[in-house]
């Protein structure tokens, strides 16, 4: 295939290595060595994750956790443009500035739907097993090129701005990847089986509505605990979704999975564990720490109730 998901990981690794190099050069950061090591280790996970034995990959993760836990990941000093320069740039490019941003979802959608079966010279264009992620990677690269072409900036400028954003987020930038891995680990450890036994002893499993509610609410609650719906999905689906909804009640797996993930996202709106979604924006905007979560809770509960109804109506 021409665009393998591994190639996307290699691009991410190169990006993170540059971030690590910029962090190392930033003498204003008192923890520049540890910060650079943190991002370099993260880059190694993308570049050599398939080659490194699991035990050593686990050691790398532990080292990253220790660096972050002891405050080793610190923001550096960044050169900021003035408000006047920002206003002048906005006036010059106007709505064209939205082009690179809009390219990402649009090109991802086109790649995942219209180009998923395209072959060139006998080679598949996009990784069949990860077509959406491969298309997303291509879309991000093309948007990057479009952005520097439009603004006529050096290619290092958006990388430096990305570093500024990463510095604002800090170690929480690795949460999606680590929490998704944790969900797979919980699933392999049999947590889903334990949940199935708990649900079976708590509610009448022959009642379809109660099982739908248990799965949807369970996705939201477990996401609140884990901080990410990707971590909750394998556990709740192995415990309730597949054996009870699909196996016993005959639910459509695709509909169940899609709405189940949406139910999990309702939990993301209500937890500080989703730090990169709920805590970091508040910090960037100088808002009270949990103000974002408090504002989102009513919407999350309404959406969760709607998801329960949708799954009950559409999945069977």
One domain, residues 253 and 141: no
Same domain, 255 and 207: yes
Give phi and psi for 124, each to the nearest 5: -70, 135
Are the C-beta atoms of residues 20 and 67 closer than 8 Å to each other? no
User: Are 90 and 54 found together in one domain?
Assistant: no
- Looking at the fold, whether 257 and 307 belong to one and the same domain comes out as yes
Is pLDDT above 90 for 299? yes
Q: Are residues 114 and 182 in the same domain?
A: no
pLDDT above 70: percentage of residues in the chain: 96
Whether residues 132 and 249 share a domain: the answer is no
* Shared-domain flag, residues 130 and 263: no
- Does residue 33 lie within any of the structural domains? yes
If one counts the domains in the chain, the total is 3
Residues 17-72: tens digit of each pLDDT: 999 999 998 888 888 999 999 999 999 999 998 889 989 988 998 999 899 888 88
Residue-wise pLDDT for 69-105, tens only, equals 888 888 888 777 677 777 887 788 888 888 988 999 9
Q: What is the model's pLDDT at position 1?
A: 59
> Whole-angstrom Cα distance, residue 157 to residue 75?
17
Give me the pLDDT at residue 305, please: 95
Residue 78 located in a structural domain: no
Same domain, 50 and 111: no
**123 bridge partner residues:** 120
Q: Flag whether 305 is in a domain.
A: yes
Mean pLDDT, rounded, for 1-12: 84
In a shared domain, residues 135 and 267: no
| Domain assignment of residue 146, given as a range | 85-153
Question: Average per-residue pLDDT in the chain?
Answer: 85
Nearest alpha carbon to residue 191 among 228, 231, 141: 231
| Rg of the chain, C-alpha, whole Å | 22
For the chain, give the secondary structure using H, E and C. CCECHHHHHHHHHHHHHHHHHHHHHCCCCCCHHHHHHHHHHHHHHHHHCCCCCHHHHHHHHHHHHHHHHCCCCCCCCCCCCCHHHHHHHHHHHHHHHHHHHHHHHHHHHHHHHCCCCCEECCEECECHHHHHHHHHHHHHHHHHHHHHHHHCCCCHHHHHHHHHHHHHHHHHHHHHHHHHHHHHHHHHCCHHHHHHHHHHHHCCCCCHHHHHHHHHHHHHHHHHHHCCHHHHHHHHHHHHHHHHHHHHCCCCHHHHHHHHHHHHHHHHCCCCCCHHHHCHHHHHCCCCCCHHHHHHHHHHHHHHHHHHHHHHHHCC
Residue 263 lies in a domain: yes
Is 75 a member of any domain? no
Same domain assignment for residues 62 and 195: no
Domain boundary among 124, 153, 182: 153
Burial of 80-114, coded b for 16+ CB within 10 Å and e otherwise, reads eeeeeeeeeeeeeeeeeeeebeebbeebbeebbee
pLDDT in tens, 179-221: 767 767 777 777 767 777 777 778 888 889 999 999 999 999 9
Do both 228 and 308 map to the same domain? yes
pLDDT digits (tens, 9 = 90+) for 108-141: 999 888 888 888 877 788 877 888 888 998 999 9
Tell whether 149 and 179 lie within a shared domain: no
**Between helices 32-48 and 5-25, what is the axis angle to 10°?**
170
Does residue 2 carry a pLDDT above 90? no
- Spatial separation of the C-alpha atoms in residues 112 and 309, rounded to whole Å: 28
The reply to whether 168 falls in a domain is: no
The answer to whether residue 165 is domain-embedded is: no
pTM of the complete model beyond 0.75: no
What is the CA 60 to chain-centroid distance, rounded? 20
Residue 102: per-residue pLDDT: 92
In a domain, 226, yes or no: yes
Residue 69, class by beta-carbon neighbours within 10 Å (0-12 exposed, 13-18 middle, 19+ buried)?
A: exposed
């Amino acid at each position: 295939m021409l665009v393998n998901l591994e190639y996307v990981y290699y691009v991410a690794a190169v990006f993170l290595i540059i971030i690590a190099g910029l962090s190392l050069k930033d003498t204003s950061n008192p923890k520049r060595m540890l910060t650079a090591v943190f991002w370099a280790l993260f880059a190694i996970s993308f570049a050599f994750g398939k080659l490194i034995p699991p035990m050593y990959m686990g050691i790398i993760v532990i080292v990253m956790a220790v660096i972050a836990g002891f405050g080793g990941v610190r923001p550096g000093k960044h050169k900021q443009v003035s408000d006047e320069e920002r206003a002048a740039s906005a006036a010059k490019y106007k709505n064209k500035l939205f082009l690179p941003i809009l390219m990402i979802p649009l090109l991802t959608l086109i790649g995942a739907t219209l180009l998923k079966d395209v072959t060139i010279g006998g080679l598949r264009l996009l990784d069949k097993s990860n077509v959406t992620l491969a298309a997303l990677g291509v879309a991000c690269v093309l948007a990057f090129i479009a952005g520097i072409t439009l603004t006529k900036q050096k290619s290092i400028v958006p990388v430096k701005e990305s570093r500024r954003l990463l510095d604002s987020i800090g170690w929480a930038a690795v949460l999606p990847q680590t929490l998704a891995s944790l969900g797979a680990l919980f699933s392999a450890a049999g947590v889903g089986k334990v949940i199935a036994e708990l649900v079976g002893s708590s509610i009448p499993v022959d009642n379809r509505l109660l099982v739908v509610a248990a799965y949807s609410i369970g996705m939201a609650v477990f996401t609140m605990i884990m901080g990410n719906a990707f971590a909750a999905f394998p556990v709740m689906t192995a415990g309730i979704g597949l054996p009870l909804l699909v196996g016993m009640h005959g639910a459509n797996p695709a509909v169940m999975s899609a709405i189940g993930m949406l139910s999990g996202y309702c939990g993301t709106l209500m937890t500080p564990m989703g730090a990169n979604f709920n805590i970091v924006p508040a910090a960037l905007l100088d808002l009270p720490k949990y103000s974002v979560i408090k504002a989102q809770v009513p919407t999350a509960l309404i959406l969760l109730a709607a998801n329960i109804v949708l799954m009950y109506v559409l999945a069977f």
